[in-house]
Structure 1
Amino acid sequence: MAPSSGRRAPPTAEELEERDIVGINKETVTNTVSNDYPDNYANEEQAWDKDVFRQNFRVQWHENKQFEAQFSLIGVDASIANAFRRILIAEIPTLAIDTVFMHNNTSVIQDEVLSHRLGLIPFTGGKKGLREWMGFWRKPADGEGTYDTTFDNNTISLKLKAKCTHNPSAPPNSKDPRELFHNAHLYARDITCEMLGGQPKYFSGADRIRPCNPDILITKMRPGQEVDIEMHMHKGFGWDHAKWSPVATASYRLMPTITITKPIVGEDAEKFAGCFMPGVVALEPVTRQEARVKGSGFEGHEGELKAVVKDPMRDTVSREVLRHDEFEGKVKLGRRRDHFIFSIESTGQWDSDELFVEAVKTLKKKCQVLRPQVTNMVYTY
């Protein structure tokens, strides 16, 4: 059968709402598959319009702390939201320990395991030096030495040197190794940074290179054990190794929708509220005006508590409410397809809100590279 070429009538408000909601049912999830061309439907004129997109697109911040941020990205397709998520995880550069020179290690942790632990310690420092002055280190080619490609603007030198010894001043009845011995525990704060060349200009004082969390435990030692390690920090991307990822987590979820289709009052309202996370559903008294409206379902319930949706963003969509027969046909659950709630947890080198702005810049650069290639492909064919 040939496809229809005629235009159909404009979609109703109910149809538009249905398109935008992923249905959450008792045992199934509906309307999950997107079309090949987002927001385009057969026999409808829906050419992309910048002004319409600008009108519908919004960014709402819910939490903005140095290491944690939560915001909503509204009015975009899942492909765009996922692009931001992948960029946050893998395509924003950071500085991390890359090369470890193990001069001596008599602790119980093997050299390769200790090197791995050191590489995963997040560091921070002066933002201008890290982002503008520091460049990328090039791995030496055959015949070149390690230091042939190592310069002050692409490598930070760190050292960790300590030996565990008895503490003659320890309390006689103490059993705490940290009191009995010197250097029984080595922490990230024990790593020292050696400034070379022009590095003091960018990494001095409050901008010094330092671990984001100085209390990260590296290893434990006992008398007679020691470590003597030199480390080189380089700039890299998360797609090469997770130690260069600027985030501990970067995820999103769709905005939950909860629609009460029939009034729920009294004890049922209290049970209804208990089916959701605290704060999602509130209990409010039925007003006199509501009780007087015929067909509202509140007739004769003046003063009783009714269930109202207060904050659906808190909901985890557990579907607990759909397991109770008394709520059959009284509530509809869903998720909004174009409302993405992002959660970003920074490892410390970037502030959490800076990461999203940097992700936008990165996606913009990708588009600038792709655009002429697509244009040339169109004119070629």
Structure 2
Amino acid sequence: MPRPGQEELAQRNRVNVGLETVTNQASTDFPGHWPGENHEWDLGYFRENFKVQFHTNAPLDSSFSLIGIDTSIANAFRRILLAEIPTVAIEYVYMKQNTSIIQDEVLAHRLGLIPLTADRKALSWMKWYKKPTDEDPGSGSPSDYNTLMLTLDKKCEWQEGGLDRAARGETDPERLYKNHNIYARDLEWHKFGQQVEIWGDGEGLRAVHPDILIVKMRPGQEISMQLHAIKGIGQDHAKFSPVATASYRLLPTIDILKPIVSADAKKFARCFPKGVIGLEPVTAEDAKKDPELRGKEGEAKAVVKNAMRDTVSRECLRHPEFADKVKLGRVRNHFIFRVESTGQWNSDELFLESVKLLKIKCQKVRRGLDEMMK
């Protein structure tokens, strides 16, 4: 039998948000739930109804909607973005000298959290570093194909005449000291082995944000260390996660059931974030269509401008004058994604990479099932 009409499907696909309850959360588009209706998954139907809409697309921050997919698939993309796309981060810090005020382990932790970037094709050439284990303690040997080496050597000293200026009451560190602030841009990358050929003269390994402050020092203090960056995923440690945030939310819906005009319209607009509700004058045509608007021509009327900006705070439902005039909800299969990259990948490329990884996972499951059937 054919599927029901679009209006009926839209109502079934709506999560209803009340003052204290949420209803119709569970999906019902599966075989056997609706008598006489066929809801078997169909590739042609999916292709016809699946849509992707971009809202913003900056290199490090993008927002887009996936329409027509199941929650499990949307959540799989989110989890892959957070934990399974490989990046490079500092893993080992070999301290030669550290007389700064920051302890060795705290300084090493700060260095590990600095987002790094380099030519992605060259980074994809890198192999996984095998960490030493109790069974095989000699396995963790750094090499040109699995380790990137950086150094950080800085010593704080007085500026020329700095002591005299200090005696006169000068307090500006820039005029008193050299190398008193150590930044991420002070990390120096040293290519070795095949890395010289692979990277060539292109942009090498560097901090995404060069102005990240690592440590403050004063004359006589010094840091000298060697750092090894390796390939990893967020599942191992959060520092390898390629995103600062990867989240999604369902598209909000706001249905104004009865006209809201005059002072109530302004109050209603204040219940929502800016830009969600607009005010428009009541026209003669509006008054003709709706008896409740007769005699109110020219007064302000509340209309929905951009429901996507709503945070579904339910503020409007707390006011009794709006209780029976508005209905809030969310569209169950419309996912608004927000992906903010840490810099090693562009935000839109991250999502495409998550699709590739999910495809690889599906292929592995399929091969496993084929082996079971033999």
2:126 aligned with 1:134, yes or no? yes
The amino acid across from 2:260 in the alignment is I
2:221 corresponding residue in structure 1 = 225
State the Cα distance separating 1:331 from its structure 2 match.
0.4
2:157 aligned with 1:165, yes or no? yes
1:82 corresponding residue in structure 2 = 75
State the Cα distance separating 1:55 from its structure 2 match.
1.1
The amino acid across from 1:101 in the alignment is Y
2:56 aligned with 1:63, yes or no? yes
Contact in 1 for aligned 2:252/2:307 (Cα 8 Å): yes
2:278 corresponding residue in structure 1 = 282
Aligned-residue CA RMSD (Å)? 2.1
1:304 corresponding residue in structure 2 = 299
1:4 corresponding residue in structure 2 = none
State the Cα distance separating 1:143 from its structure 2 match.
5.0
State the Cα distance separating 1:241 from its structure 2 match.
0.6
State the Cα distance separating 1:204 from its structure 2 match.
4.8
Please give the per-residue CA displacement for 1:2-46, whole angstroms capped at 9, x wherever unaligned.
xxxxx9x965666533321111111111122346x8586243321
Alignment of 1:301-340 (within 5 A): 301-340=296-335
Alignment of 1:187-266 (within 5 A): 187-266=183-262
2:150 aligned with 1:150, yes or no? no
State the Cα distance separating 1:200 from its structure 2 match.
2.9
Contact in 2 for aligned 1:69/1:352 (Cα 8 Å): yes
Secondary structure of 1:278's match?
Answer: coil
The amino acid across from 1:158 in the alignment is L
2:371 aligned with 1:370, yes or no? no
Q: Distance in 2 between matches of 1:115 and 1:58?
A: 45
Contact in 1 for aligned 2:131/2:139 (Cα 8 Å): no
State the Cα distance separating 1:198 from its structure 2 match.
2.3
The amino acid across from 1:105 in the alignment is N
Contact in 2 for aligned 1:125/1:203 (Cα 8 Å): no
Contact in 2 for aligned 1:128/1:202 (Cα 8 Å): no
State the Cα distance separating 1:56 from its structure 2 match.
1.1
Secondary structure of 2:73's match?
Answer: helix
Contact in 1 for aligned 2:30/2:40 (Cα 8 Å): no
Q: Distance in 2 between matches of 1:205 and 1:329?
A: 67
The amino acid across from 1:357 in the alignment is L
Secondary structure of 2:102's match?
Answer: coil
1:113 corresponding residue in structure 2 = 106
State the Cα distance separating 1:137 from its structure 2 match.
1.3
TM-score, structure 1 length as denominator?
A: 0.91
Please give the per-residue CA displacement for 1:268-321, whole angstroms capped at 9, x wherever unaligned.
11111111101001111122222223x453222222221110100100111110
Please give the per-residue CA displacement for 1:355-380, whole angstroms capped at 9, x wherever unaligned.
00000100011111111323444x36
Residues 150 and 40 of structure 1, relative CA distance in 2, 3 Å threshold: farther
State the Cα distance separating 1:206 from its structure 2 match.
4.8
Q: Distance in 2 between matches of 1:372 and 1:258?
A: 46
2:115 corresponding residue in structure 1 = 122
Contact in 2 for aligned 1:252/1:342 (Cα 8 Å): yes
Q: Distance in 1 between matches of 2:357 and 2:224?
A: 39
State the Cα distance separating 1:145 from its structure 2 match.
7.2
Q: Distance in 2 between matches of 1:145 and 1:336?
A: 51
Q: Distance in 2 between matches of 1:22 and 1:86?
A: 23
Secondary structure of 1:27's match?
Answer: coil
Structure 1 unaligned blocks of 5 or more: 1-6
Residues 310 and 181 of structure 1, relative CA distance in 2, 3 Å threshold: same
State the Cα distance separating 1:134 from its structure 2 match.
1.4
The amino acid across from 1:225 in the alignment is Q
State the Cα distance separating 1:144 from its structure 2 match.
2.1
Aligned residues: 367
Please give the per-residue CA displacement for 1:177-230, whole angstroms capped at 9, x wherever unaligned.
333211211110111011112223343555211100011111111222111110
Q: Distance in 2 between matches of 1:296 and 1:202?
A: 75
Residues 357 and 375 of structure 1, relative CA distance in 2, 3 Å threshold: same
Q: Distance in 2 between matches of 1:53 and 1:123?
A: 39
The amino acid across from 2:330 in the alignment is R
Contact in 1 for aligned 2:130/2:139 (Cα 8 Å): no
Structure 2 unaligned blocks of 5 or more: none
Q: Distance in 1 between matches of 2:32 and 2:154?
A: 64
1:95 corresponding residue in structure 2 = 88
The amino acid across from 1:278 in the alignment is K
The amino acid across from 2:90 in the alignment is I
Q: Distance in 2 between matches of 1:75 and 1:10?
A: 15
The amino acid across from 1:99 in the alignment is Y
The amino acid across from 2:268 in the alignment is F
Q: Distance in 1 between matches of 2:137 and 2:322?
A: 74
State the Cα distance separating 1:264 from its structure 2 match.
1.1
Q: Distance in 1 between matches of 2:84 and 2:157?
A: 44
Select which of 324, 331, 336 maps to 1:341. Answer: 336
The amino acid across from 2:185 in the alignment is R
Select which of 360, 370, 375 maps to 2:355. Answer: 360
Alignment of 1:25-36 (within 5 A): 25-34=18-27
Residues 364 and 112 of structure 1, relative CA distance in 2, 3 Å threshold: same
